[in-house]
Amino acid sequence: MIFSVQERSCGGESMLSPTTRNMGGNLSPQPEVSGGLNTEALTCIIERLESEIIDGSWINISYEETDLEMMPFLVAQANKKYPELNLKFVMSVHELVSSIKETRMEGVESARFIVNMGSLGIHISVVDFRVMDGKTSVILFEPAACSAFGPALLALRTKAVIEREQLPDCYFAMVELDIQRSSSECGI
């Protein structure tokens, strides 16, 4: 594995972003965070977000970096609090299918995946994976309307990769929730 650490500044203090692993051409943040996010760094992020909500600047700000920085910590915390959740964060649909195959080979019968659209930006959906009676169920929950480009692209890519990889006895479905209203909500 190849690890990298990115140093960021917050209120004059530097903080480290999560570790990453080399996934071929894509670097994917991992839920196996070696150290926790320190309280000062988290406080700084929260204060900045609160300030941007109060002054209205949030509408014009891209939160991609913050979302990708925080997601591995949120996943690790969710798995710590709810171990049966088996939550994983993947950066692309190709990584999703690889993770589903790995999960199935490990004998795990239920897991959730937070999947990003890949190298073209950030848009995240959630996938529920279950094995029932030897058959694989994969359900993609799309938070936005599939009439938008990012959500449609992620949904179609997911369906295409699952079909191409021919997961044995796999049943795939998509659920369009249409509850996301802003590009600021594409990640967390």
Is residue 94 among the annotated active site residues?
Answer: no
Based on the residue annotation, tell me whether 186 is a catalytic residue of this protein: yes
Q: How do the domains of the chain map onto residue ranges?
A: 7-185
Q: For residue 6, what pLDDT is reported? A: 38
Count of alpha carbons within 13 Å of 185, Cβ hemisphere only?
Answer: 10
Catalytic residue among 44, 69, 95, 186: 186
- pLDDT of 87 > 60? The answer is yes
Please report which confidence band the pLDDT of residue 82 belongs to, taking 50, 70 and 90 as the band edges. very high
Query: What is the SS3 assignment for 26?
Result: strand
Write the DSSP string, 42-63.
HHHHHHHHHHHHHHTGGGG---
- Model-level pTM greater than 0.75? no
Residue 60's pLDDT is what? Answer: 84
Q: Model confidence over 19-73: pLDDT tens digits? A: 333 334 444 554 445 556 677 888 898 899 999 999 999 888 888 778 888 888 8
pLDDT tens for each residue of 101-113 = 999 999 999 999 9
Q: How far apart are CA 82 and CA 186, in angstroms?
A: 24
Largest CA distance in the chain: 55
Of residues 116 and 183, which shows the higher confidence score? 116
Distance CA 105, CA 170 (A): 14
123 is catalytic: yes
Q: One of 10, 13, 142, 165 is an active-site residue; which one? A: 142
* Separation in Å, CA 47 to CA 9, 50, 59, 184: 14, 5, 16, 17
| 151-188 per-position pLDDT tens digit | 888 889 999 999 999 888 899 999 988 887 666 666 66
Q: What is the distance between the alpha carbons of residues 120 and 72, in angstroms, rounded to a whole number?
A: 20
pLDDT at 147 over 60: yes
Give the integer Cα–Cα distance in Å for 53 and 74.
21
Q: Taking 70 as the threshold, does the pLDDT of residue 86 lie above it?
A: yes
Token pair 């894509």 is found at: 26
CB atoms within 10 A of CB 173: 11
The active-site residue out of 123, 146, 165, 176 is 123
> What integer pLDDT is reported at residue 188 of this predicted model?
61
